[in-house]
Amino acid sequence: MRKYEMMVIFRPELSDEDLDAQETLLRESVEAKGGKWVETVKWGKRKFAYPIMKLTEGFYYIYYFYLPGSEISNLKSELKLNDKLLRFMIVRKEEKRGVQ
């Protein structure tokens, strides 16, 4: 399994309960695909540099998790169907190695 970092921007009108529910859905989706959830970093509501879908702000979250590489495309497909998300990006996070 590889470690991944995912940044997500949620719609600005979501309540704290809705945001928590979305995080739970993402966590369950990763774990159902054989992955392991590591960490959640909440950046809060921030203004965009340019409008996205006629909106000027959104909630930023960063998630770290392990997932088999073969399951990333399935996760992306699920995220594209979520109407509460404005944008998302998943990148592989390299493990730091010591100097040898």
What is the pLDDT of the chain when averaged over all its residues? 92
Residue 20 region, left (φ>0) first, then alpha (ψ -120 to 50), else beta? alpha
98 has a pLDDT exceeding 90: no
What is the domain extent for residue 45?
A: 2-53+67-86
Domain presence at residue 58:
no
Q: Write down the pTM of the prediction.
A: 0.86
Amino acid at residue number 65: F
Amino acid at residue number 81: L
Domain presence at residue 78:
yes
The domain tally of the chain equals 1
Domain presence at residue 94:
no
Domain presence at residue 35:
yes
* pLDDT tens for each residue of 11-25: 999 999 999 999 999
The torsion angles phi and psi of 75, rounded to 5 degrees, stand at -65, -45
Domain presence at residue 60:
no
99 has a pLDDT exceeding 80: no
53: which DSSP letter?
T
Domain presence at residue 38:
yes
